[in-house]
Chains A and B, each alone.
Chain A
Amino acid sequence: DAGITQSPRYKITETGRQVTLMCHQTWSHSYMFWYRQDLGHGLRLIYYSAAADITDKGEVPDGYVVSRSKTENFPLTLESATRSQTSVYFCASSKGQGVGQYFGPGTRLTVT
C-alpha cells in the first residue's frame, strides 16, 4: 500500500524556470492539499482540492498553479520559480474537510 507519494524528493532549479511537483495517493481520498514548510512559519497551505476539477486557494497561493484532473493526482507547478519559493513542500490527503490529513514524504526544493 503506497499511500501518498511525492516526486521528486529533492529538486534544485534556477530562478525563472518552471517546476512541477507531483503528488499521488492511493486511498481515493476526496481532499488533497499542498503545504510549504519554512522555519518560523510552520506549515502554510498553498492550495487545496475538494474533488477532481475543484481547487481553491489557501493562505499563500501566489506564484503557484494546481490542477486535479484525476482524484489520485494533485500536481503543483511553480510557473517561474523565485528564491523565496525555496522550501519543503508537503502534499496531504484526507477523506473529508476537517478530518485528519495524511502527509507525503515531502519535496525539498531549492531555487538558485
Chain B
Amino acid sequence: GQQVMQIPQYQHVQEGEDFTTYCNSSTTLSNIQWYKQRPGGHPVFLIQLVKSGEVKKQKRLTFQFGEAKKNSSLHITATQTTDVGTYFCAGLKTGANNLFFGTGTRLTVIP
C-alpha cells in the first residue's frame, strides 16, 4: 500500500495565487525530500528536511516538516507559470533504506 500520502492530487490556480501541497506518513520519517517534475521531464530534487519542525525557504517556496516528523508541506507564494509541474514528496522511514514517494500534486497555473 501507499506509504506516503499526498494531497491534493490536482490543483489549478490563477497566476498570482498561492498554492500548498501536503504530505502525510503513518510512520515517523527520518527525513523528507521534495521534488519537482515539469511536464515531460524528470524529477528534480528541490530540498531535504531533517529536523522536527524545520522550515526552509527557497525564494517563493516554503517547506515545512511537522513536529512529529510524519507530515510536511510545500507552499508557493504568488504562483507563476514557471511553477507548473508535479510536486512530489519522498519520505525516508526511520530504519529503512529507501525513499517512498508520494503520488504527487499536479499544479496548473492559469495565466
Interface residues of chain A, those whose CB is within 8 Å of chain B, are 33, 35, 40-45, 48, 56, 58-59, 90, 92, 97-106
Q: How far is the CA of A48 from the CA of B100 in the complex (A)?
A: 13
> Which one, B10-18, B39-47, B56-64, B71-79, is touching chain A?
B39-47
Across the interface, do B101 and A42 meet the contact criterion of CB distance under 8 Å?
Answer: yes
Query: Is B85's beta carbon under 8 Å from chain A?
Result: no
Q: Which residues of A contact B6 (CB under 8 A)?
A: 42
Chain A residue at minimum C-beta to C-beta distance from B4: A42
The complex places the Cα of A44 from the Cα of B2 at a distance, in Å, of: 10
B30/A90 in contact, CB under 8 A: no
Sampled A-B contacts (28; CB under 8 Å):
A33-B98, A40-B103, A41-B103, A42-B6, A42-B101, A42-B103, A43-B88, A43-B90, A43-B101, A44-B101, A45-B98, A48-B97, A56-B97, A58-B98, A59-B98, A90-B42, A92-B43, A97-B97, A97-B98, A98-B30, A100-B47, A101-B43, A101-B99, A102-B45, A103-B43, A103-B45, A104-B42, A105-B41
Identify which of residues 85-111 in chain B touch chain A, using a CB-to-CB cut-off of 8 Å. 88, 90, 92, 97-104
For the complex, is B25 an interface residue (Cβ under 8 Å from A)? no
Collect the chain B residues with CB atoms within 8 Å of residue A97's CB.
92, 97-98
Whether, in the assembled complex, B33 has its beta carbon less than 8 Å from a beta carbon of chain A, the answer is yes
Interface presence of B31 (CB below 8 A): yes
